[in-house]
A and B are shown apart, each in its own frame.
Chain A
Amino acid sequence: MMDESRRGFIGKAFGAVAAVGGVASLIAMKKTWDPLPSVMSAGFTTVDVSGLEANKLEIVVWRGKPIFILKYSADMAPTDGRSVKVGENYYSVMVGLCTHLGCIPAYRCDKQDFKCACHGGEFSADGVQTFGPPPKPLEIPPYKIDGTTLVLGEEGPEYKAMMAKAGGV
């Protein structure tokens, strides 16, 4: 009897230790799939926005994503909580990927809006979805204003204020 239960206990303990080892290796495997630290920390893109032409879309790359920078012309009204003021001018600074399935919308300067060629989504110049499948406005990347340059990837006070406002709504 003693022997029986003892063997049962040792068997279970053996199984438990093996299971712990299995879970530990699964964790290691999951971590191996994680993006590398260099990838995670990569890239603070700096753009000087002072020389941009109004109503003409400028695209820069940040962490492999296209970033739209659109300087407003005189007839374009800034949107509170979405338009970025650098110096005297207003800009839209947005991740240029459709919030539906990640295609790059094209800017139509005559209509002053964005149109996604994949599934027909449309966005206004400040990046708010106006038609089609996109579920939310174009994302605003973290930025810091430094004189006339934008540093993408760093969270400046203007960005934080903007996010707080967006969160409050």
Chain B
Amino acid sequence: MAEFKQADSMYEWFDQRLGIDKFLKVMMTEYWIPKNINFLWAMGVLLTVMFTILLVSGLFLLMYYKPDINMAFDSVNYTIMQEVAYGWLFRHIHAVGASVVFLIIYIHMFTGIYYGSYKKGREMIWISGMLLFVLFSAEGFSGYMLPWGQMSYWAAYVITEIFGGIPLIGGDLVVWIRGNFYVSDSTLTRFFMLHVLLIPLAILGTIVLHFYALRFPHVNNLDGEFFDYDAEAKKYLDGKKVESKVVPFWPVFLSKDFFVLGFFLLFFFYLTFFHFNFAMDPVNFDKADGLKTPAHIYPEWYFLWSYEVLRGFFFEIAGISGKSLGLIAFAVAQAVFFLMPWLDRSPMVKPANQRPYFKYWFWFLMVDLIVLTIYGKLPPTGTNAWVGFASSITFLSLFIALPFITKAEGKKVGGK
């Protein structure tokens, strides 16, 4: 063990024991981020802040929430919303935050796709990010059940019923997941456990992995340029800050993020206080009733596109029932984004608008996802059902076509 000399200050005392100086350098002042970026690069910090806001507001909701089918609805809508000081504020923040966090996740995700930030060594960043998306989805779904309103109940019913389509074990699996033949108290308590402990723990762990995965391949930049980070960092440290292609995480990168965060929070608080119905569906202010189906059942907006892929197949094709086809398509839709680094076979790391074929693919995908999202909410009757079918087929086709399109693109640009 090294000799410890008497510390001259409290800072030094801690530094001797925890290596604060070195830690701050590695994590903040000498963690290098490319300079050539725009505000879309701030989404990661926005998500970190949003997760913290959700965690903190969740803690206070947890103080009064009662995971019991007879008490849950009133503990939320009366105790928390009416009695607890600022309980309503934490609930609004939590509910609106859960919705907005998905908006930012989608922007973050499609920024990654647009700029090709999942290629050439950045695969693990992409995969850990997609893992976070799946975990956030599970967190959102389990949390939506807790207020025990009509939409909580029926969305949970319909979504758990999906597993019933799995061959052989489906029926038993649904009962196993719910802990009963129907969505009931045992379902509520186990989803409560998932929502407040298991999934948040998994999210925290995966966030660490996601951040760590950034360290070796480094953050992508606007032009997908690869350069020598050590050389650029040295330039910066030598005072050639303007020529250097990098900036330190603190304070330069974060100052830009905080500026973006400020305006984002303005938008977020506007929604929280004045425009929250989109995240707190009026139907959910009716207490759950297993014997009364609401006229329209739909999941939260961020699940609509994959829900529409599920129900887009509403008739039998080649002897396979619509239900099974929908389930297969749904499973594919959940997994296919994970495969982006391998489906995109073009070696180009460039923003989509500079890629001759990929740009069409990207915007086609965006339009298709918006169509899926909108028709995922509309009642699936008449032409709506066919629009749903067409856009689901389009979604799957886009991913089948991606390797061929990008391969051709690779040939055209000749490995650039």
Q: Do chains A and B touch in the complex (CB under 8 A)?
A: yes
Binding site for B on A (CB under 8 A): 33-36, 39, 59, 61, 63-66, 100-104, 117-120, 132-133, 135
- Name the segment of B49-57, B179-187, B359-367 touching the other chain: B179-187
Contact of A102 among B161, B176, B180 (CB under 8 A): B161
Chain B positions within 8 Å of A118 at CB level: 158, 293, 296-297
Contact status A103-B297, CB under 8 Å? yes
A24 to B321, alpha carbons, bound, how many Å? 38
**A103-B297, A104-B292, A118-B297 known; A135-B176 Cβ under 8 A:** no
Q: Which of B175, B182, B321, B379 has the most CB of A within 10 A?
A: B182
Contact status A104-B161, CB under 8 Å? no
Chain B positions within 8 Å of A103 at CB level: 154, 158, 293, 297
Chain A positions within 8 Å of B251 at CB level: none
Contact status A64-B157, CB under 8 Å? no
Chain A positions within 8 Å of B162 at CB level: 101
Check if B411 is an interface residue, CB within 8 A of chain A. no
A67 to B323, alpha carbons, bound, how many Å? 23
Chain A positions within 8 Å of B181 at CB level: 35, 39, 63-65
| Residue of chain A at shortest CB distance from B292 | A104
Contact status B175-A35, CB under 8 Å? yes
Check if B38 is an interface residue, CB within 8 A of chain A. no
Contact status B291-A66, CB under 8 Å? yes
Contact of A39 among B158, B186, B293, B380 (CB under 8 A): B186
Contact status B322-A133, CB under 8 Å? yes
A158 to B372, alpha carbons, bound, how many Å? 47
Contact status B179-A119, CB under 8 Å? no
In chain B, residues 126-164, which have Cβ atoms closer than 8 Å to a Cβ of chain A? 154, 157-158, 161-162
Contact status A63-B186, CB under 8 Å? no
Chain A positions within 8 Å of B186 at CB level: 35-36, 39
Chain B positions within 8 Å of A66 at CB level: 291
Q: What are 26 contact pairs spanning A and B, CB under 8 A? A: A33-B177, A34-B176, A34-B179, A35-B176, A35-B178, A35-B181, A39-B184, A39-B186, A63-B181, A64-B181, A64-B290, A65-B181, A65-B182, A101-B158, A101-B161, A103-B297, A104-B293, A118-B158, A118-B296, A118-B297, A119-B311, A133-B311, A133-B315, A133-B323, A135-B322, A135-B323
Chain B positions within 8 Å of A36 at CB level: 179, 186
Check if B169 is an interface residue, CB within 8 A of chain A. no
A66 to B182, alpha carbons, bound, how many Å? 11
A133 to B379, alpha carbons, bound, how many Å? 13
Interface residues on B, range: 20 to 34
Q: Would you give the shortest CB distance from A130 to chain B, in whole angstroms?
A: 14
Chain B positions within 8 Å of A63 at CB level: 181-182
Q: Would you give the shortest CB distance from A135 to chain B, in whole angstroms?
A: 5
A61 to B182, alpha carbons, bound, how many Å? 12
A97 to B45, alpha carbons, bound, how many Å? 46
Binding site for A on B (CB under 8 A): 154, 157-158, 161-162, 175-182, 184, 186, 190, 290-293, 295-297, 311, 314-315, 321-323, 379-381
Contact status B182-A64, CB under 8 Å? yes
Q: Which of A34, A59, A63, A118 has the most CB of B within 10 A?
A: A118
Chain B positions within 8 Å of A133 at CB level: 311, 314-315, 322-323
Contact status B184-A64, CB under 8 Å? yes
| Residue of chain A at shortest CB distance from B181 | A63
A132 to B381, alpha carbons, bound, how many Å? 9
| Residue of chain B at shortest CB distance from A133 | B314
A35 to B176, alpha carbons, bound, how many Å? 6
**A102-B157, A102-B158, A102-B161 known; A64-B180 Cβ under 8 A:** yes
Chain A positions within 8 Å of B176 at CB level: 33-35
Contact status A100-B323, CB under 8 Å? yes
Q: Would you give the shortest CB distance from A112 to chain B, in whole angstroms?
A: 21
A33 to B190, alpha carbons, bound, how many Å? 8
Contact of B295 among A33, A65, A117 (CB under 8 A): A117
Contact status B182-A135, CB under 8 Å? no
A27 to B269, alpha carbons, bound, how many Å? 46
Contact status A119-B314, CB under 8 Å? yes
Q: Would you give the shortest CB distance from A136 to chain B, in whole angstroms?
A: 9
Q: Would you give the shortest CB distance from B376 to chain A, in whole angstroms?
A: 12
Chain A positions within 8 Å of B293 at CB level: 103-104, 117-118
Q: Would you give the shortest CB distance from A4 to chain B, in whole angstroms?
A: 33
A64 to B180, alpha carbons, bound, how many Å? 9
A33 to B379, alpha carbons, bound, how many Å? 35
Q: Which of B181, B297, B314 has the most CB of A within 10 A?
A: B181
Q: Would you give the shortest CB distance from A36 to chain B, in whole angstroms?
A: 7
Contact status B161-A120, CB under 8 Å? no
Chain A positions within 8 Å of B190 at CB level: 33
Chain A positions within 8 Å of B175 at CB level: 35
